[in-house]
Amino acid sequence: MTPPPTALIADDEPLLRESLCRQLARLWPELQVVAEARNGREAVELFDLHAPQVVFLDVHMPGLNGIEAARGIARRAQIVFVTAYEQYAVQAFEHGAIDYLVKPVDEARLADTVARLQGRLARAAEPLPGTEAVLESLADELRRRAAPRAHLQWIKASVGQSVRLIPVEQVAYLRSDEKYTLVAWDGGEALIRKTIRELADDLDPDRFAQVHRSVIVNLHRVTQVTRNLNETADLHLAGRSEVLPVSRSFLHLFRQM
Amino acid sequence: MRSAVPSPSLPARWRAAPGGRRVLIVAALCLLAAIALNPIFVSPFLVVLGRTLFVGMALLLAFTGVGRWRQPWLPRWLAQVLVVALVAPLATFVVYLLSVGGDVVALLRHEGMLLGVLAISSTTLVGGLVMALGALYRERDAQARADGLQFALEKSTLERQALGARLSLLHAQIEPHFLFNTLANVQALVESGSDRAAPVLRHLIAYLRAAMPRLNDAEATLATELQLVRAYLELMHLRMPDRLQFSIALEPGLEGLRFPTMALLTLVENAVSHGIDPSEEGGRIEVGGRRDASSGVVTLWVADTGVGLAETAAPGTGLANLRARLQAFYGPGTSLDLHEVAPHGLRAGLSFAPPEALP
């Protein structure tokens, strides 16, 4: 007599874990749900602990998502993904013939999945060989979506007791001021610890340009360029009275085409 | 000289020397002055013309040079007028000094030459001052036109942003991911025969009704907005009871304020999806509001203890749209700012002066 099949359910929403447990109990009474995980990290830990044959993984989970968790589990179990509305994921699952369920889980569909899993377990079938490539490209896609931008989008500045997040599009210019850098933005001025050099590296070059050893300007705000006799220039900004210097080595930015 | 740049991608037009047009005008004036002065001079016409031209060009150079020189002591226009008044007699004296080979004594003794100095310097002084004032007036005029264009441009940009923000309201408000996940939870409650199913369905209906696309903010109030926020947070708390706690506390008397629908909800949704949901531990969301008794300014805030915002996190269009909508609704004094919460999390605050609050 073979031991009963075992399963792990991973979903960050407890009601949905319970619901899937109940549905499975009706459709596949022999299946033992040996562990429930609240996120991808727990799923991998509990999988290593219990080595279940079937794993139900929610795609969207905090920390490690379902796709990343599945790569951790690799080819050691039959994996079924559960998703609410990740269209790109559904397409990839279809394409790679990977088992998946959509939430809310339809009982007839779950019955089909159960039948397929039972058949594979009976044959002691290996998980599908193409699965890993599909998971890898899906993981890449998810990382790309969650990836931070290449450039600074926010400037964190201490204002009084708190740290304020200033959207870079509201910044008019940045100017080094001894140890600190002065940020002049639509809501006022603030000092930050980052240097002009660091900021010049991190800010989007399509929007910001260094125009002087100590000045970075938001190009979208420049209204006038006044050239001086000694190969330097002055910048005038929209809605601001300050005049910013352009030094000789940065003058080419404003040369006539 | 200043030249307006329509956009930063276009390089400025450079003018190192006085413009060619100005040189021509000054030359023509010098010619007129020479013709007018010629009858009282003994010297040949060309010599008189040469002297007036020398003085005229000296004045133009001085005017342009001082205009470019950024000095802190005098307003630019005053410095330009003063330098013209100073250079007119000086340049005349110099041009005569050249003609006598630098001999100051000889020049001072020669009555005819002194008369010439006086005639040319007074003519160029008057002419130069009139020209300088004219040029300054034209510059100011051009500046005013440029400012007017800039203002019109900014105004139309603001209007476009507000329109874009309103149009985005008409697009799908309800994220399918949110809807299907919530429905899955409702299904779970119904299947298990839980008595929580009915209240949860009520929250979902309230949320869906409020989130339906609409154009008109006219009858929306802060009270209806808070009902929407509460319905949303109740649903999210149902879905992640171990990861999301929340509280809503509004100072009494603010409920009746007109308020653009979904504005606070946008901030609360951000707090859930960018603060709480990515965190394994989750956190707490506090929604609050108060009115400053003296200024009448209302401040609303949404603070979470989630993962916070990275400096490179995509700002998304939601916040920019919200800012534009609030400004269109309450006027330019409206602010929307984000602060970090220690040790981790984010606080979004918006403040505005509601029209009803004005004394």
Interface confidence (ipTM) of the complex: 0.85
* Choice between A43 and A92, residue whose per-residue pLDDT is larger: A43
| Residue in B with minimal Cα distance to A257 | B11
Task: Name the minimum distance, in Å, from the CA of A248 to any CA of chain B.
Answer: 15
Q: Are residues A86 and A16 in the same domain?
A: yes
* pLDDT of the residue at A129: 65
Residue A224: per-residue pLDDT: 85
Q: Which domain holds residue A162?
A: 154-254
Q: Which CATH class is domain B172-357?
A: alpha beta
Q: Kindly state whether residues A11 and A129 are assigned to the same domain.
A: yes
A43 and A99 together in one domain: yes
Per residue in B10-46, pLDDT tens?
333 344 456 778 888 888 888 888 888 888 777 888 8
- In this predicted structure, the answer to whether residue B323 has a pLDDT above a threshold of 60 is yes
Say whether both A63 and A140 belong to one domain. Answer: yes
Tell me if A57 sits within 8 A of A43, measured CB to CB. Answer: yes
Residue A14 lies inside a defined structural domain of this protein: yes
Of B68, B181, B188, the CB nearest to A228: B68
The band of B169, judged by pLDDT with boundaries at 50, 70 and 90, is low
In a shared domain, residues A189 and A132: no
- Please report the residues numbered 29 through 68 in chain A whose beta carbons come closer than 8 angstroms to any beta carbon of chain B: 38-39, 41, 60, 62-63
Judge: B187–A19 Cβ closer than 8 Å, yes or no.
yes
A33 & A136 share domain: yes
Q: Is the pLDDT of residue B199 over 60?
A: yes
Cβ–Cβ below 8 Å for B13 and A256 = yes
Least confidently predicted of A146-160, A173-187, B149-163 = B149-163
3-class SS of residue A191: strand
Would you state the pLDDT for residue B171?
A: 56
Q: Where exactly are the structural domains of chain B?
A: 20-163, 172-357
| Domain contains A116 | yes
Final residue of a domain: which of A89, A123, A146?
A146
Do residue A85 and residue A20 come from a single domain? yes
The pLDDT score that the predictor gives to residue B130 is 86
Q: For residues A50 and A176, state if they share a domain.
A: no
Residue A26 lies in a domain: yes
Both A39 and A110 in a single domain? yes
Q: Quote the percentage of chain B above a pLDDT of 70.
A: 89
Structure tokens at A160: 């009084």
The residue out of A112, A127, A146 marking a domain boundary is A146
Binary contact (A224, B338; C-beta < 8 A): no
With respect to residue A106, please indicate whether it lies within any of the assigned structural domains.
Answer: yes
Interval B296-305 mean pLDDT: 95
Distance between B326 CA and the closest CA of chain A, angstroms? 16
| pLDDT higher than 80, residue B4 | no
Question: What letter does residue B258 receive in the DSSP assignment?
Answer: B
Q: How many domains does chain A have?
A: 2
The answer to whether the beta carbons of residues A197 and A187 sit under 8 Å apart is no
Mean pLDDT of B214-240: 86
pLDDT of residue B16: 43
Q: Is any Cβ of chain B less than 8 angstroms from the Cβ of A25?
A: no
Burial B97-115 (b: 16+ CB within 10 A, else e): beeeeeeeeebeeeeebee
Nearest CA to A98 out of A133, A63, A69 is that of A133
Of the partner residues B5, B188, B280, the one whose CB lies closest to the CB of residue A63: B280
Q: Which residue of A has its CA nearest to B280?
A: A62
Predicted local distance difference test score (pLDDT) of residue B357: 47
Q: Which residue of A has its CA nearest to B67?
A: A228
* Identity of the residue numbered B265: L
Instruction: State the average pLDDT over residues B148-176.
Output: 73
Whether A231 shows a pLDDT value over 70: the answer reads yes
Domain CATH for A172: 2.40.50.1020
> What is the CA A86 to chain-centroid distance, rounded?
14
Q: Which of A51-60, A166-175, B55-64, B142-151 has the lowest mean pLDDT?
A: B142-151
Amino acid letter, B144: A
B262 Cα to chain A: minimum distance (Å): 22
Would residue A234 count as lying in a domain? yes
* Angstroms from B14 CA to nearest CA on chain A: 7
Statement to judge: residues A26 and A116 lie in one domain: yes
In angstroms, the CA B44 to CA B31 distance is: 14
pLDDT of residue B142: 84
A196 in a domain, yes or no? yes
Residue type, A248: R
Radius of gyration of chain B (CA): 36
Report the CATH number that the domain containing residue A41 is assigned in CATH: 3.40.50.2300
| Average pLDDT of span B125-130 | 85
Residue B102, sorted as left (phi over 0), alpha (psi -120 to 50) or beta, turns out to be left
For residues A57 and A182, state if they share a domain. Answer: no
